[in-house]
Every structure is written in C-alpha cells, then in structure tokens.
Amino acid sequence: MPLVSALELWVVLAVLSVVTLGVAIVAGRSTHQWQRAPLLVLEIVLIVVVPLAWTFEVWFVAKTFMALGLGASVALLIAIVSGIALLLLAGYVGALLLWAAYSVRGSRARFRPDLWNSLWLSKTFIWRPIDYPSSR
C-alpha cells in the first residue's frame, strides 16, 4: 500500500512540475506587472506545495522500505536519497511533458525561448536591454 501511495505522489510531483514550469513561462511572457502578480503568487504557492509533496513521497518510500524489513533510520536515509532522485526525475518528466504539449500545439521551436524567458531563468543579475523598456 505505501508503494502505491509513493507512485501516486510521484505523479503529483510530475504534474506540479509541469504546472510550475508553465506558470513561470506564462509569467515570463506577460508584459505588465498586474499580469505577473497573480502568477507570482501562484508560483509561491507551488513552491510551498512541492516540498510538502516531496516530504510525503519520502515518508511513503520509507514506509515501503520498512515494510520490506529495514530499520527505520536506514529506511529513512535510503528514502531521502531516493526522494531526491525521484524529485529530479519528476522535474525532468514534467519538462518533457510540457515540451510534448508544445509539440502537439505545433510550436516546438518556441519551447526553448519561452523557457529561457521564464521568470526563473531570465530574471538573474545580468542586465538585458529587453528587461528595461526605457533603454530601447
């Protein structure tokens, strides 16, 4: 039973990664601050939900290992390492799902520019003229 719950939570993590990346891309494409504000709030909510889901993922993986006969501390250590790997895998699968959605829409070539213009990747400490409309 814990293994089924761990698999279900991994699917939830993959879906959350699709939604989080999608919201970041949409926020990066928005041109006005009033459009970005609700998207940033949604990203903050998602950034709070993902670690909670990851914690439950680790708990269910640990329960699965404990059901196989491992001690609690060993099962927890293995579950934490497994949980990190599963989180990275869920993020990768989420990005692939979003890329597939772009492909289905016929705009596969727009995925990489949209991803690089997302609020996470484009809002670094590097000055770019596109970020400042007054510099054009």
Give the tens place of pLDDT for each residue, 76-102: 999 999 989 989 999 899 889 988 888
pLDDT (mean) for 30-52:
83
Select the more confidently predicted residue: 12 or 120.
12
Q: Does position 18 have pLDDT exceeding 70, yes or no?
A: yes
In Å, how far are 1, 73, 106, 114 from 8, measured between CA atoms? 11, 24, 30, 29
pTM metric for this prediction = 0.72
> What is the structure's pLDDT at 120?
61
Binned at pLDDT 50, 70 and 90, residue 124 comes out as low
